[in-house]
Amino acid sequence: MSRPTKTYVPSPEWIVLDWHHACIETDALCIQQCDKCGRWRHPPRRCCPDCFSDSYEFRPVAGTGSVRSLAVSHRSLDPGWNERAPYAVLLVELDEGPSVLAATDLCPAEIEIGQPVDLTTERRSDDFSLVWANPR
């Protein structure tokens, strides 16, 4: 099954937009990391929940993790995604700790909790990059 190309593209704002720009500029999955204590955090936020520092950078991560949870969509309002139904959206726990949402080509019936996956990003606009989970 080919990946949908003509789908709705969100327009992220504020710090989430900064995250998308970091992924686009590096062509890799980036995650926010605290400059003071080193904690990785996602979704992005202004202050570190551990040390309250507001100093951070978005840095590339290994792009490896495991399936923590999933939701299966049997239909979508977006025609581009509806062609793929049923499809799964994954919550992937990165090896660095945080979890991210990811689209996948994996068949929903074949996905197992704990399954290792590799993550890549796909630029969809100047301001949005979609995260994909691929089987390892």
Residues binding Zn ion (CB under 5 A): 34, 36-37, 39, 48, 50-51, 53
The string over 76-107, giving b where at least 16 C-beta atoms fall within 10 Å of a residue's C-beta and e elsewhere, is beeeebeebeebbbbbbbbebebbbebbbebe
What minimum distance in Å lies between the beta carbon of 129 and Zn ion? 25
Pairing of strands 30-34, 56-60: antiparallel
H helix runs in the chain, sequence order: 14-26, 79-82
Residue 49 is classified by DSSP as: T
Nearest CB to Zn ion, comparing residues 37 and 107: 37
Nearest CB to Zn ion, comparing residues 51 and 85: 51
What minimum distance in Å lies between the beta carbon of 32 and Zn ion? 10
What minimum distance in Å lies between the beta carbon of 17 and Zn ion? 22
Enter the tokens of residue 104.
């996948």
What minimum distance in Å lies between the beta carbon of 23 and Zn ion? 21
Nearest CB to Zn ion, comparing residues 50 and 126: 50
Nearest CB to Zn ion, comparing residues 53 and 73: 53
